[in-house]
Structure 1
């Protein structure tokens, strides 16, 4: 790493990803601390390039990191990389989702292996006890629960569009189908769980809050007796599933909407293996069961982008102090590098 820490924040290639890993006010703080920061132009980012330039950032054309970013720069993003270049030589920070057995993980890791680069997965920003120290969790839970409530009421329309927390609260205001609705939040004591519970209460629904003690010996009949299920549990080891496909055919099932905020679809750690693909902004809902007792699932993997400004500010506030320690190194980043090295080594053993 050079004496001056150089960070290049890229444009997000996913068309509905409007968040930013760093917001302009926190970019300004990094620059004041001696960091050189380049920000790519992005027509969809909720914050303008002018706002970053006013804070002292260098501005680069959209997508130019692949051809113009110096090899010593750290490339910062949020969601998946574009398909090119196939060989990744830089040090990249983004949510790679590559360490839980996801189907696309080997392809991504081989790109780093081929180019000699490093993935510092933002999902691995953990303290010594394994707790996330920078995450979008609250707004993921809030948005996921909001969509579940709207779907239950018959008010969810597609395609989805990003909004603000004020607008979500307005749409959540208790409606005609609010009386007597029951909802359970699994993982209610975490960031995402808190967000989900806040959204449900805004909708006039007092949630049943389940933590680890409740899932250790899970009562599936009690779970199925709720109208709405919001799953916010991100397990780091295999656990018995909360629901299986067979449970969906239980004659006593009342459950009609699932919001799988965790969205570990296809992973060995998936706690809701009742569907096999994520949903998206164009098609946010998948019908799992038809008939007189229909059951729908929402499994969108960038929920916080529904409230991009609020979600970005919360995440950036957690992230920017950690970025300063990239220059000298820290236990947090050492754990990220260790997770990457382990994953690449495991990839080699699998052939």
Structure 2
């Protein structure tokens, strides 16, 4: 039996209900392209097993007949078979130590690995991603945290419009979430505003990619918003602005770093030589109520928010900064006090500037609440899966027709898929040879 495609059951945690393809999309592959599909059974998946059966898929545990296996998160070594292509978010391209055993096992099995993160267009833009949903859910989680933190600080419920904001997974759908945010939180903000002691609610967003756009979509779709430039924070122009709307500042790289030698900022130079640059976000932090982190980061780049930065912010008795929504969620990365990832069941902790410690939850301590959920798209599993599968579908018929065991197969891949092939026939492809030292 030569089955083209398999879909693995996700089992990383109770929140991982996403799928790479919906039943309708599987049905299209079977009906329109003559492909065979096996789906592992799951009681957790957002789409029930029967929906895949009705679409024409075979639902069974054994995926060994499949030439290609799709998943979302990391896969266990016991799954890997010689000559099979595994497609998932492998979290290996930075040399992540926790996934090197998995990568070694896949290579040892003589299998192939393709990573969604590296399916890109000619300009290097990602094509198959959950980023928008990370931004959508991350912004809602951060507003939820703001409401709870203000309540703990004694804010009058009548002047805390964010108290009505729920965690994303508690809304029936994304559409329901947007409607209720507009009808409840936004309406309360316009009617009563926030306390004078808090001042205008200022939300800073780091980044301008898919994740940041998702975060901003929540604000622009639901709330009265005014946009400002970063320099407006330092001039004091925002300080006396309306307390009945949200004030939004988007930070690009030129706003968050400076050349160490005092030279002018150049984006391409920053990408090529980040060691020449130092962080420059600290002066803006005292003027923000919420900071949303939605950038790409790796250890070559400056740390943008340090513990010392936050101690300086909270040296003021009425510090404004309440929440850091670290959607990027690199542990001890661009936000140094993001020291552990969280889940929707316990999404936040407080960084206490006085003890340099963490307090689980949104109460206590002196310092900002850190929202560090690392699987945010799971909070909108249905919509996130539908959009993800829609982006992936155009590549699958051709991919399924290729014999990946042919030595020349990588050259025959569609152009967007070529950079995504990390392992071919058990060996790192040339673009990923740099991972060899991490595997030693």
Could you tell me the TM-score, scaled by structure 1's length?
Answer: 0.86
Say whether the 8 Å CA contact 1:184–1:210 is kept in structure 2: yes
The equivalent residue for 2:429 is 341
Number of residue pairs aligned between Structure 1 and Structure 2: 338
Distance 1:134 1:34 in 2: 23
Q: Secondary structure at the match of 2:369?
A: strand
Q: Secondary structure at the match of 2:142?
A: helix
Q: Secondary structure at the match of 2:38?
A: strand
Matched, 1:249 2:311: yes
Matched, 1:240 2:302: yes
The runs of 5 or more residues in structure 2 that have no matched partner are: 149-162, 195-199, 225-245, 259-279, 354-363, 403-412
State the Cα deviation string for residues 182-234 of structure 1 (Å, max 9, x = none). Answer: 111111x3111111012134244342122333234443221342111111112
2:201 corresponds, among 163, 169, 181, to: 181
Say whether the 8 Å CA contact 2:324–2:369 is kept in structure 1: yes
Deviates more, 1:167-176 or 1:298-307: 167-176
State the Cα deviation string for residues 303-340 of structure 1 (Å, max 9, x = none). Answer: 01111111111111101112223134222222111575
**1:1-351 to 2 correspondence within 5 Å?**
6-13=4-11, 14-31=13-30, 32-61=32-61, 64-65=62-63, 69-70=64-65, 73-82=67-76, 85=78, 89=82, 90-154=84-148, 155=163, 163-170=172-179, 172=181, 173-174=185-186, 175=188, 179=194, 180-187=200-207, 189-201=208-220, 202-204=222-224, 205-217=246-258, 218-235=280-297, 238-250=300-312, 251-252=315-316, 254-265=320-331, 270-289=333-352, 293-326=366-399, 327-328=401-402, 329-338=413-422, 341=429, 345-350=433-438, 351=440
Say whether the 8 Å CA contact 1:278–1:300 is kept in structure 2: yes
CA pair 342-146 structure 1, distance change in 2 beyond 3 A = farther
CA-atom RMSD in angstroms: 2.8
Say whether the 8 Å CA contact 1:159–1:283 is kept in structure 2: no
CA pair 288-318 structure 1, distance change in 2 beyond 3 A = same
Distance 2:390 2:79 in 1: 32
Structure with larger Rg: 2
Richer in helix (by share): 2
CA pair 35-257 structure 1, distance change in 2 beyond 3 A = same
- Deviation of 1:101 (Å): 3.6
User: Which 4+ residue blocks in structure 1 deviate beyond 6 angstroms?
Assistant: 156-160
- Deviation of 1:36 (Å): 1.8
Say whether the 8 Å CA contact 1:40–1:60 is kept in structure 2: yes
- Deviation of 1:235 (Å): 3.6
Distance 1:178 1:199 in 2: 18
CA pair 102-224 structure 1, distance change in 2 beyond 3 A = farther
Distance 1:87 1:26 in 2: 25
- Deviation of 1:170 (Å): 4.7
Distance 1:93 1:233 in 2: 24
State the Cα deviation string for residues 122-165 of structure 1 (Å, max 9, x = none). Answer: 11111222211111111110100100001100157889657421
- Deviation of 1:263 (Å): 1.9
Q: Secondary structure at the match of 1:78?
A: coil
